[in-house]
Structures are given as C-alpha cells and as structure tokens.
Amino acid sequence: MYQAATVSLAHQRQLRLLNALRANKKPIMTFLGLPSFRTAQVVAQTGIDAIIIDCEHGYISDDSMHSSTAAIAALGVSPLVRLRMTHSDLIKRALDAGAHGIVIPQINTAEEAKAVVSHAKFPPHGTRGQGSAFPALTHGIDLPTYLKTANETLITCLQIETKAGVENIDAICAVPGVDMIFIGPNDLALSVLGYVPAKGDEPEFVQAIEKIVATARRHGKWIARLSNDGPSCKEHLEVFDTVAMSYDIRALQNWYMAELRVARS
C-alpha cells in the first residue's frame, strides 16, 4: 500500500494545487478548451490555482496539450488534463507531458477507478511506464526525484456524473489512489433528471450531490465541482475543497455579450 496524496510527506513548491488542497486553502481551478499556449499563459496569469486542459470536450490536440501543460506550469500554476476516456495510452501521454494530475470523466464502477489508478501509478503500485524527461520539468525537480515522488504527488481525480456512478460511489471512493472526486453537474442532471441545466432544487439531483459529497468525505477524498461564476464559486467552496470556475470559451463569450448589451443599449 502506498501513501495517498492526502497523507504524503512529500512537498514540492511547484505543486500549487496539491499544496493548497493539503493546506485547506480552497483553491480555484478553471477549464481550458482552446488549443493555444498563449491562452493558457493569459489564464495562468489571472491568479488561478490550477487549469484543467480539456481533452474531452475542448479543441485540444496532443501537441496543444503538451505546450499548454508546459506554459501553465512555467507560471507557477498547476496543469491538469481531463481525458476523454480511461485508456492507458491517454493517461500516459498526459502524465508524460507533465500534468500535475488527471481528471477522468464518466467513472461508473470501482473496476474503472482501479484501472485508472493502475495506469497512473509507477510500479509496484501500478503499470505506468517510464521514458519521458518532460514531467520533471513541470514539477520543478530532477527526474530521479520525480520517479520517487510521482505516485504520492500526482492527483487522480474521477468525475461522477451518472446514476451508475452515484450508485457505486462508495466502492469508487474506497479505491486506494483515488485522490479527488469531481461532480459534473450538467451530465449528472442529464442522467438523473433527463434534462439540463438542473434548476438546482430537484430532490433527486440534490440527494445525488449530497450522497457523493458525504461518501467522498467519509473516505477522505477531496471533493470538487464545476461552478459557473464567482458567486457560485464562493457558495460552493463552503462545501467543496476546490471548484472549477467556468471555462475559457465561456469567459470570452460572456464578456463580449455583456459589453455588447451595454454598447447597444
């Protein structure tokens, strides 16, 4: 049994998100969906603590993921990568690019969670292969130190966003090596309610979120969710350890729409 990130004594200054979570400082993340390391740099200079490079829904190629990961880490912000599935090759590529953690969507069973952890950990705790010099750079350490500490310091975050995921949440959270549970409220609403967005007060939807949060807490996992804006972030951080505040694409759209309304009024 290895030490989970929540109890590890390893401390690396570059790991902004992990260090903030350990200190209960309520870090704030956001999503990056545009394939531009310049956009990554601009967002990383806003004061954000972590940026999730969205390879699931964003327009992000493998090249863009590599360059954005490096650009974000160079500015002292933690890059995470959201993958489109649990395949070992995708997990390897994200971690070899230097991601400080991975976010895996649509986790429905403990078996899926175990597979993700295995792909993300070096032996003897997993099956991840070694061969890239890049991840040590984004962690601000040398390669031997990275190889010794990666199993303890990389954040493995699983998204729960289906009825099946909610039903199996206890078994999922019991998997060693799962560090964080992320609630995808829109997909969760689609699965539980059959429509999106949720109004927010539907009993079945509220109960699902409460069950996820309570179970994650009981198993000592960090808990996160998507938040649409600053006021929502402030409200959600009363319950959650961290939130992802919207999306670079929505931020662009929202600013232009708001300013155009004023200009044309």
Please write the tens of the pLDDT for every residue from 95-105. Answer: 999 999 999 99
Residue 202 has pLDDT above 80, yes or no: yes
Segment 210-226 shows an average pLDDT of 98
The confidence band for 123, taking pLDDT boundaries of 50, 70 and 90, is: very high
pLDDT digits (tens, 9 = 90+) for 43-84: 999 999 999 999 999 999 999 999 999 999 999 999 999 999
Catalytic residue status for 11: no
Q: Which of 122, 131, 123 is nearest to 97 (CA)?
A: 131
Looking at 37-188, which runs of residues are DSSP E strands?
Answer: 50-54, 78-82, 101-104, 155-160, 180-183
From 57, 87, 125, 236, the catalytic residue: 57
Q: Which two tokens stand for residue 1?
A: 């049994």
pLDDT digits (tens, 9 = 90+) for 139-166: 999 999 999 999 999 999 999 999 999 9
Write down the pLDDT at residue 6.
Answer: 43
Segment 209-215 shows an average pLDDT of 98
Residue 122 has pLDDT above 70, yes or no: yes
- Give residues with Cβ within 8 angstroms of 102, minimum separation 6: 80, 81, 82, 83, 91, 94, 95, 116, 120, 154, 155, 156, 157
Segment 15-27 shows an average pLDDT of 97
Domains and CATH numbers, the chain: 16-263 (3.20.20.60)
Answer yes or no: are the C-beta atoms of 35 and 61 closer than 8 Å. yes
